[in-house]
Amino acid sequence: MVTKDKKVVLAYSGGLDTTYCALHLSKDLGMKVYTVLGNTGGFSEQELAAIEKKTQKLGVIEHISIDLTEDYYAKCIKYLIMGNVLKNNCYPLSVSSERAFQAMAIAQYANEIGADFIAHGSTGAGNDQIRFDLIFQIMAPNAKIITPTRDLELSREEEIQYLKEAGIDDAFEKMAYSINAGIWGTSIGGKETLVSDQTIPEEAYSSQVTQTEPSALSIGFEKGELVSVNGEIFENPLDAIKTIEKIGSAYGIGRDMHIGDTILGTKGRVAFEAAAPVLILKAHEMLEKHCLSKWQMHWKDQLGDFYGMLLHEAQYLEPLMRNIECFLEDSQKTVSGEVKLMLYPKYYQMIGVNSEHDLMNDAFGQYGEKNEGWTAEDVKGFTTILANSMKIYHTVNAK
């Protein structure tokens, strides 16, 4: 494979694997390396500046950071909320959802500069390699995919040694945990996530518990979208997410260990902290219980779960995803109101909702107390008809 002086666009995060890839591609393969960081809300301005400065030591021709947060919310997070999507009733798809948007932005950039190659630093053991490969194949078909970390089967120690010998020492040995942060949560991988009987220590989480006294939290929705937190109105839902994250993470809320099936067929574990996603999803779900019909809730559960599964398994560009998004958005016409919660160290309690669309309407009755919309005789007749098919079955098969 001829690589010398060929243009390659590298998905770059500033971590060990992508730092190794950048230097290897430029130094060993003689390629013209262009690095792209797709920011989904997990980097500060200072961190972005430090990452750009680092690329200057790696032989990179040009480095750019693309802020994907607004697009990521509008085309994905919004639907994760509307669908109450928690993978395996646990994980808010923090990383798996953002990878599609990073890959699409990187592929677009590769097309714009006419790249000969497109690269990422994923290993051969996880889901991300498939997420990047699949979207690169679809959106940048003229760029050949190159993956040094995967193809060379390098260990972490080998990468560190290579960088040290080249004069790049970024304290990689101290990075005991692999952390991926974004607006929709932070995933954390380490030695404890590689086995089945351990969990990561308190200090591995990026935020620590600082609040010990209980406090109330209210989250407002308008047609399924975030509009307020504790009575404060937000024009941009992203600002509401950040506010809830700041409040909830101070209590250590949203921490858990996700255990699930990888795209490759193996089982995998990852720790995460996602205070805002967990609080928002549970608040939204409670509001829907009050504002949607039984069958709306039933089919939303099916489609929301399926949407999350496809997204997790690299299928964001599957046309069915756009169909499901239409259903989810249409289902939110009456999902407006305020949800009240109480926060405590490492747990929360759902209190109740206020909504003009609340279907717990006194005009029709109060459960277990009074019936206003029907009579006792109505119930007797209804029950007789409801029992008919079962009566027939059990009578015919009595022997």
How does pLDDT run across 157-213, given as a tens digit for each residue? 899 999 999 999 777 766 778 889 999 999 999 999 999 999 999 989 989 999 999
What pLDDT was estimated at residue 173? 64
State the Cα–Cα distance between residues 76 and 308, nearest whole angstrom.
Answer: 10
Q: Which segments of 250-342 does DSSP mark as H helices, in order?
A: 275-291, 294-312, 319-330
For residue 369, pLDDT beyond 90: no
The distance from CA 1 to its chain's CA centroid, rounded to whole angstroms, is 37
- With cut-offs at 50, 70 and 90, classify the pLDDT of residue 301: very high
Q: Tell me what the mean pLDDT of segment 236-264 comes to.
A: 96
Are 95 and 182 contacting, i.e. CB atoms less than 8 angstroms apart?
yes
Instruction: Return the amino acid letter for 55.
Output: T
Nearest to 100 by CA among 127, 65, 78: 127
For strand 32-39 and strand 144-146, is the pairing parallel, antiparallel, or unpaired? unpaired
Mean pLDDT across 378-397: 95
Fold (CATH) for 7-175 = Rossmann fold (3.40.50)
Domains 7-175 and 179-354 share a fold: no
Which pLDDT belongs to residue 206?
Answer: 86
User: What is the reported pTM?
Assistant: 0.94
Max CA pair span of the chain: 87
Q: Shortest CA distance to 291 belongs to which of 363, 367, 223? A: 223
Q: Considering the chain, what percentage of its residues have pLDDT values greater than 90?
A: 88
Return the domain boundaries, the chain: 7-175, 179-354
pLDDT value at position 368? 66
Residue 398 burial (10 A CB sphere; 0-12, 13-18, 19+): exposed
Torsion of Cα atoms, 220 then 224 then 227 then 229, to 10°: 30
Average pLDDT of the chain to the nearest whole number: 95
The pLDDT of residue 375 is: 87
How far is it, in rounded angstroms, from Cα 174 to Cα 144? 34
Superfamily of domain 179-354: Argininosuccinate synthetase, chain A, domain 2 (3.90.1260.10)
The string over 32-71, giving b where at least 16 C-beta atoms fall within 10 Å of a residue's C-beta and e elsewhere, is bbbbbbbbbbbbeeeebeebbebbeebbbeebebbebbee
For residue 144, what are the contacts with CB-CB under 8 A and spacing of at least 6?
Answer: 1, 116, 117, 118
The reported pLDDT for the residue numbered 174 is: 61
The DSSP secondary-structure symbol of 123 reads: -
CA dist 27 and 252 (Å) reads 44
Residues 6+ apart with CB under 8 A from 57: 167, 168
